[in-house]
Structure formats: C-alpha cells, structure tokens
Chain A
Amino acid sequence: MEETLNIRELNDLIASKAGFLSLIRSGMDRRIVGQKHLIDSLLIALLCNGHVLLEGVPGLAKTLAIKTLANLVSAKYSRIQFTPDLLPADVIGTLIYSVKKETFEVKKGPVFANFVLADEINRAPAKVQSALLEAMQERQVTIGDETFALPEPFLVMATQNPIEQEGTYPLPEAQVDRFLLKVVIGYPSKEEEKIIIRQNIKGELEPVKPMIDPKEILEVQKIVEKIYIDEKIENYIVDIVFATRQPSKFGLTDLQSIISFGASPRASISLAKASRAYAFLQGRGYVIPEDVRSVCHDVLRHRIGLTYEAEANNISTDDVITDILDKVVVP
C-alpha cells in the first residue's frame, strides 16, 4: 500500500501522543467509574478547544469528572455555582477601588481559569449566562477599559439538571449553540455502581497528581487541526445537517412536522471539529464516517428545535438524529 506522506506522518504523530491520552484516561479511570462516554466527550471538547454542556441527574460525577481532568493537567481550575442572585461581575470580574493606590484595580473573576465548571448554569439569570457564554465564544473578557485574554487551554464544562426546572432560566437556543457538545449522562451499570460504592466507602479518594502540561494540550490541539477530512466526509456532514433543516428532501417526511428549526452552520463546523477529535482518540489521522456518527448526537442534540407535536409525542432530538443517521447515505 502506498500512502501519501502527510497522512502517514500524521498517523505517526498521533501514535506518539498515545501516551498523552493513556495518561489522561488512566487518571480519569482512577476517580471515575464507567462514564467512558463522558470522559471521551471531555477529551473531544479539550482537543477541539470547545466547551461541553452536561446534562444529568445529580450524583453522576459530572463535577468530579472535570475536577479530575483539571487536576491531571497542571492547569488552573475554578468552579462557579450558578445561583439566581449571581451577577456577571461574579463570573468575569470587576474593577475595585484601591484606597492605598487611589486607583481602580482589576479583580479577575473565576472565568480566568483553564478549566471552568459552571455548575447548574440554568439557575442563574440570563445576563450572567450571557456573560459566561460571551467569554466562551470570544475567549477574552473586557473589564472596564481593558480587555483580557482568557488562558489557554480554556474549557468550560457547564452542567444542568434535567429535573427541578422550577425557578430556572433555560439557556436560549442562540447561547446553547455555543457549546460544542451537549452530553447526556446516564446511570452507571450494576457492576460499575458496586465499584463506586467500594471506592467511596474506603474514605478519601485516591489523590490525582498533575501529569500533563497545558502546553502539551495546545500541541495536541494543533495536531488535531491537521487531521484530514475528505470531501466525501464533508458532504456527509453537510447532508446530515441539511437533513435537520429539510428532512423531506432526504425521505424523512415524518420529521418535517417534528422539527421546528434545524442545525446551524456552526453545527456543521462543530461536527467536523468533533469528528476530527474523535478520529484522534481512535489513533487515526483521517476522519471516517464512523467518527461523524459517533459524535453526531452530542453535537446536534442541543441545536435542533422540536415542535410541540414532537414534545406531545415524547419524541426527543436523539430520536430525530437517529432517524437522520439511518436515512442519510454514508459515503
């Protein structure tokens, strides 16, 4: 088999970074039982320089997962508990008058960290959510007259609880679109649950030591950017996204009345980026349709609007995405 040099070099490069991945995975496995999908999603977001919205009932190790990830990387970690009385300044920072210096000094907020956990993001008012989401998008924050770049890598993991919706502020579609992935976390299996019990009744959890330098993550991000996406894969991504907008053109007439709005072009970009990151996790220097399918639910889940009819029939966006994937021709 003759192979063009770029892909081969890329494959070698990815293989050389296998240690990086195994370090993170083994570190995560020490603290988190099961939840492989959650760990993969965090890694995909980290490799794509994106952000993750986690949805799951309390107690599924959402907070623990990002805390462990932050501990594994010698990076700054901060947690913001979103509450109804939270203000934007509590997130991004503010100017505080120094009596000693007789000037206003910048007090940076918790958003100035490599890993930010926005816990229960839907419990804070829209203006606070907007402040964080703007920082996520722009990767810079303006306090007073000064603009500050956020540190790199910068990963926001926001969580929201699907139950107890009273007194919450659901994220608007335009803002939720800024999350690369929306990951729905399920309950562990019986075996996993037994291990969780054993680990936790022993006492304190095993400490996690920093093993990875943030610079290494930036290097890996650059490698991921080089992963080859063929035109056929691009067409496949476009077909999937267009099927969310015009399902009848793809033989999905049933979905026409179920989808109120389809995925945006940002979804196409995110799908391509996430597919590349997934290919990296698989040790490949090129993307195959399998990669696209693997990340498709997480990328599109929060970008498709459903009609009242769909809600009345208990049809979720996951059902819609599954239907689309089963209908769109794979290259």
Chain B
Amino acid sequence: MKSLRYIIFSLVTLVAAMLASSAPVVKAKLDSATVMMGSITTLHVTVDQATNVKGHFPLFKVAYEKGYVGVCGDSVELRAPVRIDTVKDNNALTINYDIPVQSFDSGFYKLPEMEFVAGVDTFRSNQVALKVLPVANVTAETPIADYANVADPENPSIFDSLPDWLVNYWWIFLIIIVIAIVAFLLWRRYRDTGRILPRKPEPTPYEVAISGLRALKEKKLWENGMEKEYFTELTDILRTYLYGRFGINAMEMTSRQILASLSANKETKDKKPMIRQILDMADFVKFAKVRPLPADNIKSLENAISFVEQTKPIPPEEKKDNDNSDKKTIGEKNAEIKKGGEK
C-alpha cells in the first residue's frame, strides 16, 4: 500500500513536472534602463514555449492598431511596429518581440508585466524599470550645445528679408506686372483714340493725286485706244484732289459747278484755265464719243500735274523761304515726274 502511494505521488510529481516544463515563460528586458526624454529604447520580450502552444500579447495588439499604447499612466509609450523573431529548437519555440519604448515625461517608471495569453492561461513577464531623464530647456540664451547658433548672413541683402515664395517666383510677378502695365497703356490709348494700333499716317491729297497721275501715265490707256477710261480716271483723280485739298465736293459736281467753285477760291482762281481745258476735253471724250488727239491727252495730264503741283500746300518751314525757290522746286519736281512717267 505504501509503495502504491509512492508510485502515485511519483506519477503526480512527474506529470506536474512535465506540465511545469511545457508552460510558456515570458521574460522582459530593456536595451537601456535610462533614456533621455523623447529618445527611444527597445523593450525585448521573449516567450519560451512549446511549439503546440498558441498565444498572444493583447497589449501589442493595441499598439498595432493605434500605433502606440500608453503605459505607466500614459507617461511611457510602447510604439508599433513590434518586430517579431521566432527560433525553433525541437519541440521548443522561442519568440522575441522588440518593442520601441519612448517617453516624453521625465521620471522613474516600472513598466507593467507583459501578459501573454495562451488559451485560458495568462503568463506574465518580469517587470522592468525605466528612468527617463529630462532635457535642458533650449532658449536663445542657452543654445543647444551640439548645434551651432544661427548666424547672420555675411552679406545681407534686401532679398534675405523677403519671403521665399517671392524670391523664388519673382519673375512670374514681374511678367504679370509688365502685362498689366501694357494692358493699361493699350486701354488708355483705345479710350483716347478709339483704336489700339497707331493710325497709319494717311497720304496727303497731294501725294494721292501725284501718285495717281503717275500710275495713270504708266497705264498707257490712251495709247491703247482707251481715251474714255483715261479721261474718266484723270478727272476722278482731280476731283478727289479738289475735295481733299480745298473741300470742294467735286465728285458730286458738274464741270461748270467745279469751275465756279475754283473761281470762288483765291488759291485756284488763276489756275482755272488748266482745269477748264481738262474738264472740257473730258466732257467731249466721256459724253460725246470724241477721240482726242495725242497732244490733247498729253496736255491734259500735264495741266493736271501742274495744277496739283502749283496748289500743293507749302509746309510752314518752306513758307518762310523765298517764293522763287518754291517755284524752282515745283519745276524740278514736274520734270522729275515727267521723266518718271516716260520710263
């Protein structure tokens, strides 16, 4: 009976020993027990367990989900990610958890036991102590020892005081300002003149008439039997000139009315015979089927050129000069035009 009790006791002890040897063992250890405030140290948690045991740390799960979990009254933070390393040795399994630990409150803390839950059992680690050292106040007077103080630039300029966005993109602002100025100037010109582009200087009635007469000569209309067209163009040039130069609405006037208007004008009174010759001849050619002689055609053009030249407005500077010099200039110009036409 005594031996039976011994056997049972032995078996129980053996089973208990066996059971005790297969229970997970959780250990905790800090890389450094002392850290500066804000610095990070690592908490190493090791779980030795049988391979068939399945368990987890609820605290680490929270750290995963939130990014960190506060302990010691939230003064110490266990941060994610938690690095896990597993080593297998026969039926034993060693799992290493590395958890970053950080604190922003100086003081001495005892980290809580790390609870490993495996089924219905909970296994706890040992407690570890952490001392968080405060950081000295950084002010302008007490600069940070390992950083150089902000020094003033060697060659200060006005741009140093400008904001960076202005210094970097000043050219964009410059373009906008230039565009705005140009737009304003164009608008002001449009407001004042009614147009944006500058008005091309219009040719004077004299220039129009002289160029028209030159062109008419070069067309050689009467030389090709087109006397009617020749005199029509000739009279149209003269009528346009009379309107532009003297304000006589010659385009809407008959020959007689034009001559009457010329008589009423001091500048043209003595030059009327030239125009009379042209208009009389033009009326014959245009309305009476008359074919003029070549001499009549030439004389009409010459009279037209002479009339335009002699009634050309004198510029203010030339007016001061002697009248004789004017006459010479007109004569010379007449000759030039005739030469030009002959070419």
Q: Please list the residues of chain A having a beta carbon within 8 angstroms of any beta carbon in chain B.
A: 1-4, 6-7, 228, 230, 232-233, 284-290, 293, 325-331
Contact = CB atoms under 8 A, between A and B. Distances in A.
B232 to A, nearest CB: 8
Contact of A328 (B252, B256, B288): B252
Contacts of B283: 288
Nearest to A233: B287
Interface stretch (B91-99, B180-188, B202-210, B289-297): B289-297
A284 B290 CA distance: 13
B251 interface: yes
Nearest to B288: A286
A4 B289 contact: yes
Contacts of B123: none
A197 B3 CA distance: 192
A230 B252 contact: no
Nearest to B253: A330
A281 to B, nearest CB: 15
Interface of B: 232, 249, 251-256, 283-284, 286-293, 296
A290 B249 contact: no
Most buried by A among B254, B288, B290, B292: B288
B251 A330 contact: yes
Contacts of A331: 232, 286-287
A7 B287 CA distance: 10
Contacts of B291: 1-4
B288 A3 contact: yes
A237 B289 CA distance: 18
> Which 6 A-B residue pairs are closest in the complex by CB-CB distance?
A286-B288, A290-B254, A2-B291, A289-B254, A230-B287, A4-B289
A331 B231 CA distance: 11
A287 B296 CA distance: 21
Contact of A326 (B252, B284, B290, B293): B252
Contact of B286 (A3, A232, A325, A328): A232
A233 B283 CA distance: 11
A201 B6 CA distance: 193
Nearest to A292: B254
B296 A1 contact: yes
A277 to B, nearest CB: 16
Contacts of A290: 254-256
A230 B291 CA distance: 14
Contacts of B256: 290
Contact of B289 (A228, A327, A329): A228
